Amino acid sequence: MNKNVIYKDLGIIAYDKALGLQESFLKKNVGIKLSNRKEKKDDATSNYLLFCEHPHVYTLGRNGDKENLLINNDFLEKINATYHEIGRGGDITYHGPGQLVGYPILDLENFFTDIHKYMRFLEEAIIKTCAEYDLDAGRIEGLTGVWLDHKEQKFPRKISALGVKASRWITMHGFALNVNTDLRYFGHIVPCGIQNKAVTSLKQELGRELDMTEVKNKVKRHLSTIFEMKFI
């Protein structure tokens, strides 16, 4: 099993360009798998982790409700944002500058074939990253993502959203961690289709701007440990 992961920091990149890159890596891996099966070969697939930030964009998952976008096209243009309907799970979310977006394109046959476990592992990397900033983050039963005030739930607020897709055990899409995110943009949607729960960021919780490179390195380190992967 190949647990090496090719890491690429894409910087700030348009959502559709990042999506195209993900799709090209997935297609390449699917091609290898189909060829292996047809020709009885055992060529290794590749694993990737893409980190990036996006210009302001709203994305709606395949099972999402369009009504959870609370603004029209004219207002989207006014706030310099775009909108995309995509193939991941989950409902609507926002991506923008100051938010760390992670796209693992992993062949889970190199790790384990369990999507539920995969998502919990992604969440765990974010939970451990938050803990390094003395924030008690965790899960809320029945809800995907990473939350603060997840125990008493007097004022639960989401700090990281997840939405994934898998084809022949190859993953796409991933997670978004609010670092220095402009949280006002979440006011134009019902985030992840969940009413009456807030959204937060590391900056909001800590009262200071964070160094994005520092946060990336922490998330990478925890992903490496949890998945037993090696970045190349």
Q: Which uninterrupted H or E stretch holds 161?
A: strand 157-167
Residue 191, pLDDT score: 79
Task: Answer for the pair 140, 173: CB distance below 8 angstroms, yes or no.
Answer: no
Residue 182, pLDDT score: 97
Q: Give the domain extent around 65.
A: 4-231
Residue 129, pLDDT score: 98
Task: Answer for the pair 189, 93: CB distance below 8 angstroms, yes or no.
Answer: yes
Residue 169, pLDDT score: 97
Residue 190, pLDDT score: 87
Q: Based on the structure, what is the number of domains in the chain?
A: 1
Residue 99, pLDDT score: 98
Task: Answer for the pair 162, 42: CB distance below 8 angstroms, yes or no.
Answer: no
Residue 197, pLDDT score: 80
Residue 211, pLDDT score: 98
Q: Which amino acid is at 57?
A: V
CA 14 to each of CA 56, 72, 126: distance values in angstroms, whole numbers, following the listed order: 9, 21, 24
Burial of 56 (0-12, 13-18, 19+ CB in 10 A): middle
Pairing of strands 82-85, 57-60: parallel
Residue 22 DSSP symbol: H
Which CATH number belongs to the domain containing residue 103 in this structure?
Answer: 3.30.930.10
Active site residue 130: no
Task: Answer for the pair 199, 184: CB distance below 8 angstroms, yes or no.
Answer: no
- Radius of gyration in angstroms for the set of CA atoms belonging to the chain, rounded to a whole number: 17
CA angle 82–83–88, rounded 5-degree value: 135
Q: Residue ranges of the chain with pLDDT lower than 70?
A: none
Considering 183, 192, 202, 215, which one is annotated as catalytic?
192
Residue 215, pLDDT score: 98
Residue 109, pLDDT score: 96
